Structures are given as structure tokens and as C-alpha cells.
Amino acid sequence: MDDLKSDWLGRIGAATDERALEDIRVSAVGKKGEISLKMRELGKMTPEERQVAGPALNALKDEVNSAIAARKRGLADAALDERLKSEWLDVTLPSRPRRQGTIHPVSQVTEEVTAIFADMGFAVAEGPQIETDFYNFDALNIPGHHPARAEMDTFYTHRAQGDNRPPHVLRTHTSPVQIRSMEEHGAPLRIICPGRVYRADYDQTHTPMFHQVEGLVIDRDTSMAQLKWVLEEFYSAFFGVTVKTRFRASHFPFVEPGAEVDIQCSFEGGTVKIGEGDDWLEILGSGMVHPKVLQAGGIDPDEWQGFAFGMGIDRIAMLKYGIPDLRDFFNSDLRWLKHYGFGALEIPSTHAGV
């Protein structure tokens, strides 16, 4: 009995995996296992022999079973230890640096402009970038033969041969949104329209795609004085200093009278400083909405009058954040974007007091 016991316990102790243990279990206490066969022989024994051998065999069977169970647990624990050792993770290590995107200056400035005008009660309107020549030109009092069409370096879309409809254009300014907004909402109206515009032009201050924001106010008694107040209020909020404006008579077919607006600046030391000095920087086109334009938008010019203005978003972004070359805005150079971009959680700066 002792030999039997030490033999089986020895084999169990030497087993190195669950399969080996299972084989041992079958050949020891399985149906035809050595210990099971020995138990069957109990019947042939004398009652005295049986009284000694019976409990001893039962005890051996129990012992073998629990040795197998214990060894199984031991093997599982060892396997787990091994795994924990190889899959060890130091959760206190600092994480790898992750590249984080930035907000493009055009997006940031569009947000700033929108926030300032929203404080003055302007809503945001949008229109398509591929426009009909009606919205981009005719409705804005720029008829087919008008030189302004040529001046704007318009991109025309292609028409199939034999299709004689006038081609669509990539809008050359945000002014067509004036007409679309008048048609949609009627008067009174107080909107800005930021968005992309296109002209075939390329140098340090021109790119074939750039951004404008249009402003339009229509009411019964709007005036150039209100226009001037709105613009001075806007530029002062945008640049964070009091900004004077200068109005120069100018011509745009969709306004009468029309004015180009300059803002006060200094060019001393080779840098532009807004709101100081006695130089002027041309920044925007504006005027009182032409009666024909109101009519084209379905608004009665005998009852309503309005003022409108349009300026370059990229241009005021360059001035505010000291960005020298417009072309770099659209080169997707990661170093440029990192340098001039804004953090995702940065709140658009608008000067207090508006």
C-alpha cells in the first residue's frame, strides 16, 4: 500500500500539465485504474483482510484525488504567475506624447467675428459656393456686359456642348447671400454671411480661394451713420483697441452710395499696428444697398433701406495675429499650423464691452 501511494503521489508531483494529470487520474482511479482494480479485489478477501484493506484503499483513493486537484491548482497558479510576469504593465509610466490638432486661424477668426456680431444682434446666414450668375452678378446689379464681371477673375464651370444655359460660377464674393437671405426672410434683416469665395489670382496677398464675411442690415431707417458705428464697434472689439475708420467714396454696383473703409494704423518699424498712428489701411467695401438689389431680393425699396459691407476674413486674421503670407494659410504645413493654430479649448477672444 505504501509503495502504491508513493508511486502515484510521485507521478502526480512530476506532472507538468493538465493533460498529464488527467492521464494519471484515469490510470489510477479511473474505471480500469490500478487503485480501482485493487478495490474490486476486496470481494475476494477474508472479512479480516477486507477490514484493513478497504479503508486503506479508500483513503488512498481520496488522497490521490486531492493530490491531483492540488497539483492542478498549483499548475494553474504557476501559469498565471508566468503570464503576469510577461504581461507586466507599469501604470505609473507617463503616456507617450500624442499629436494634437489645432484650430486653423481662419476658423478661429470666423468664430471671433461671429461672436462679436452676434452680440450686436446679427444672425449667421450661408449660401452655396457654386452659384448661378444670377445670384453672383445680375441680382447684384452687375449685368452681363459690366466690367466688374471681368475684374473679378471669375471661375466659370463647364457646360456640355450644346447646353446654352449661362454657366455657374464659383462665387466671387459673399454678396449673393444677401439676395438669398432677402428672398428667404424678407425685411427687416440683420445678418452676416461668412464663407469661402474664389477668384483666379495668386500672390503674397491673394489666393484663388479665400474667405469673406458679408454684413447686411435692412430696416425702415438704416443709415451710413449706423454702418460706421457698427464697423467701428466691430473693429474695436476684434482688435481690442479703439479703432477709427475713414470712409472713401467708391463704387460697387450693388450699393449707392458706396464706400471703401480704411482703419487707422501705424506702419512704423516695418510692422502694422492697428488703432494707432496716422496711416490708413484699406480693409472693406460697403454702402447703402442699391434699390435694384432690394427689388431683386423681393423687398420694396420705397419701404425699406439697408446697408451692407464685405471684408476678407483671412486678411483681418493676418493683421490680428501677425501672419505675413496669405498663401501659407492653405499649404497644410504642420509646423505653420502648430505655430499659428489655436488650442481646441481656447475661447475665441472678443474684447469686453461689446
- The residues of the shown chain that bind ligand PHE, judged by CB under 6 A, are 173, 175, 214, 252, 255, 285-287, 308-310
Minimum CB separation from ligand PHE for residue 307, in Å? 8
Nearer to ligand PHE, 264 or 286 (CB): 286
Which grid coordinates are listed for 121?
A: 444682434
Burial (CB count within 10 angstroms: exposed 0-12, middle 13-18, buried 19+), residue 252: buried
Nearer to ligand PHE, 177 or 274 (CB): 177
Minimum CB separation from ligand PHE for residue 153, in Å? 12
Minimum CB separation from ligand PHE for residue 255, in Å? 5
Tracing cell 481656447 back to the chain, one arrives at 346
Tell me the C-alpha distance between 351 and 235, whole Å. 10
Query: Long-range pairs for 64-67 at CB < 8 Å and ≥24 separation?
Result: 64/8, 64/9, 64/12, 64/25, 64/28, 64/29, 64/35, 65/25, 65/29, 67/8, 67/9, 67/12, 67/13
Minimum CB separation from ligand PHE for residue 349, in Å? 25
Nearer to ligand PHE, 186 or 257 (CB): 257
Minimum CB separation from ligand PHE for residue 262, in Å? 14
Q: Which residues, other chains included, contact 146 with Cβ-Cβ below 8 Å and sequence gap of 6+?
A: 137, 253
Nearer to ligand PHE, 105 or 306 (CB): 306
Nearer to ligand PHE, 168 or 211 (CB): 211
Tell me the C-alpha distance between 272 and 267, whole Å. 5
Nearer to ligand PHE, 15 or 294 (CB): 294
Minimum CB separation from ligand PHE for residue 254, in Å? 6
Tell me the C-alpha distance between 173 and 214, whole Å. 8
Nearer to ligand PHE, 175 or 236 (CB): 175
Residue 280 host element (H or E): strand 279-289
Minimum CB separation from ligand PHE for residue 152, in Å? 8
Tell me the C-alpha distance between 43 and 48, whole Å. 12
